[in-house]
């Protein structure tokens, strides 16, 4: 069922919350056994379902998401429920508070049933970097589900929940959505609060949503989106009406879409290019005008991203030293420096250690201007390119990823190839604009392929509106994978 259908059945008493959550937990455990989608499954969620049923019996007013089971990525704090960020260094961390997005979902009646598997601290594009084991793609268990929000994508693709929360620093919601045949939405930077989210790269991180339905995406955004005084980057006075706007337009007449030339040719697989062409025809059939547009600086996006993100990560992850709340390796008698070195060396995974070293180097004396400083200048050039393009176009379009989901282990020994998979998605994070990946077709091997759309900053509603129009005019959109 969609989230809308669940709420309707709960409110009309056709289904009890206890029954629904019990089914969701049972399915989550089956999915976990097959695909390793979760780090923690919360059996205590059944108690929250019972509390909701009591409210229904007492005739109390229910929220937008009454009884909807949700999965939350394991770098988003959940009160009294372990939050590891996919790392051994936080293996025993149990937050004393909820992240704002979790607080708002629960206030609307949603029930968190599990914390999703992920690449450690969000550093990865395959979910192979988790300290809790590799997650597997339900379309083909020999392939990766994408990362770093791979577990969230699996939970949605298999129908455990109608939508799940992820985080998107360089495509970590959109890329796994593309690999699993789901919808992945990254809002405008600051649209959703980051309070209570374990930081990776603070100028790039954004909470996102993975779903199978545009209406469910709108429902989730409606519940979570408003200013948060606890987050200094939270946008004020947006008050977007996602549900109302999503259903307000039926076609794409007078809409102009720019196909970014630099990202839509060489480097993409034939299957991806084929679905891109089919998508263009579908958009034109719905009344849109699709034209090629050149953004000459986007080719430098991946280089800029992999200087900015590790630099910010090296700063954010300095706090995990075994001294305050992270796990510790070594005894006090060994001295503070030895304990810190052992803790970080043994409890951080290899990808995290590598990115910390990359970031520290980019920020070091004598190299700051040559690397990090220059990357920020390139970031601004890319933002200028997008601003100019949006003067002429309502949306911009690219493939979400250059290929379908690849085999587990295929790119482990070639980090450059794996980093290049983010070439399309990192742009939205560098610029701070909303972006969405839609499941637009399948490869010859029946693997899902996503197409990505960008909108100007704060045009999140129109992006979900576009998604809904495409969904309503598509067959087999975001199907549930049978398990």
Catalytically annotated residues = 73, 148, 172
Q: What is the dihedral of CA 212, 19, 149, 459, to 10 degrees?
A: 50
Q: What is the dihedral of CA 331, 332, 334, 337, to 10 degrees?
A: 110
Measured distance CA(38)–CA(374) in Å, rounded: 39
Length of the chain: 483
Q: Are 317 and 355 in contact (CB under 8 A)?
A: no
Select from 435, 440, 469, 441 the least CA-distant residue to 172: 435
Q: Are strands 207-211 and 163-167 parallel, antiparallel or unpaired?
A: antiparallel
The upper half-sphere exposure of residue 437, i.e. CA atoms within 13 Å in the direction of its Cβ, equals 36
Select from 459, 403, 478 the least CA-distant residue to 125: 403
Q: Which residues pair with 34 in a beta bridge?
A: none
Contacts of 272 (CB under 8 A, 6+ apart): 399, 401, 402, 403, 404, 443, 449
Measured distance CA(49)–CA(67) in Å, rounded: 7
């Amino acid at each position: 069922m969609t989230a809308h259908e669940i709420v309707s059945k709960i409110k009309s008493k056709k289904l009890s919350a206890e029954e629904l959550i019990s089914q969701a937990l049972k399915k989550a455990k089956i999915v976990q056994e097959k695909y390793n989608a979760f780090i923690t499954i919360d059996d205590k969620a059944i108690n929250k379902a019972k509390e909701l049923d009591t409210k229904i019996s007492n005739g109390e007013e229910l929220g937008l998401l009454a009884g909807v089971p949700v999965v939350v990525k394991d770098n988003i704090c959940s009160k009294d429920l372990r939050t590891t960020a996919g790392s051994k260094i936080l293996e025993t961390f149990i937050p004393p508070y909820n992240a704002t997005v979790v607080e708002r979902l629960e206030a609307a009646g949603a029930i968190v049933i599990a914390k999703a598997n992920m690449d450690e601290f969000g550093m990865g594009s395959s979910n192979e970097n988790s300290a809790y084991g590799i997650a597997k793609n339900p379309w083909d268990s020999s392939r990766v589900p994408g990362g770093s929000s791979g577990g969230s994508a699996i939970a949605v693709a298999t129908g455990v929940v109608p939508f799940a929360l992820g985080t998107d620093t360089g495509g970590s919601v959109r890329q796994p959505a593309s690999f699993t045949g789901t919808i992945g939405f990254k809002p405008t930077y600051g649209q959703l609060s980051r309070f209570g989210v374990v930081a990776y790269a603070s100028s790039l991180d954004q909470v996102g949503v993975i779903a199978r339905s545009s209406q469910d995406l709108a429902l989730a955004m409606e519940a979570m989106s408003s200013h948060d005084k606890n987050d200094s980057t939270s946008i004020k006075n947006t008050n977007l009406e996602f549900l109302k706007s999503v259903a307000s337009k039926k076609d794409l007449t007078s809409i102009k879409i720019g196909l970014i030339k630099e990202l839509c040719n060489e480097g993409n697989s034939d299957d991806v290019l084929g679905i891109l062409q089919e998508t263009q025809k579908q958009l034109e059939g719905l009344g849109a005008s699709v034209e090629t547009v050149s953004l000459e600086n986007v080719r430098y996006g991946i280089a800029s991203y992999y200087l900015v993100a590790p630099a910010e990560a090296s700063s954010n992850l300095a706090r995990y030293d075994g001294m305050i709340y992270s796990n510790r390796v070594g005894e006090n008698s060994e001295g503070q420096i030895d304990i810190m070195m052992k803790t970080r060396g043994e409890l951080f995974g290899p990808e995290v250690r590598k990115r910390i070293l990359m970031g520290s180097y980019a920020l070091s004396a004598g190299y700051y201007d040559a690397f990090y400083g220059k990357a920020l200048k390139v970031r601004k050039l890319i933002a200028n390119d997008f601003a100019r393009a949006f003067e002429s176009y309502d949306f911009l379009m690219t493939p979400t990823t250059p290929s379908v989901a690849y085999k587990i282990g295929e790119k482990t020994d070639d980090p450059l190839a794996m980093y290049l998979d983010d070439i399309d998605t990192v742009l939205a994070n560098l610029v701070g604009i909303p972006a969405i990946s839609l499941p637009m077709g399948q490869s010859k091997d029946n693997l899902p392929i996503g197409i990505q759309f960008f909108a100007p900053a704060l045009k999140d509603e129109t992006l979900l509106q576009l998604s809904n129009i495409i969904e309503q005019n598509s067959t087999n959109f975001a199907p549930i994978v049978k398990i």
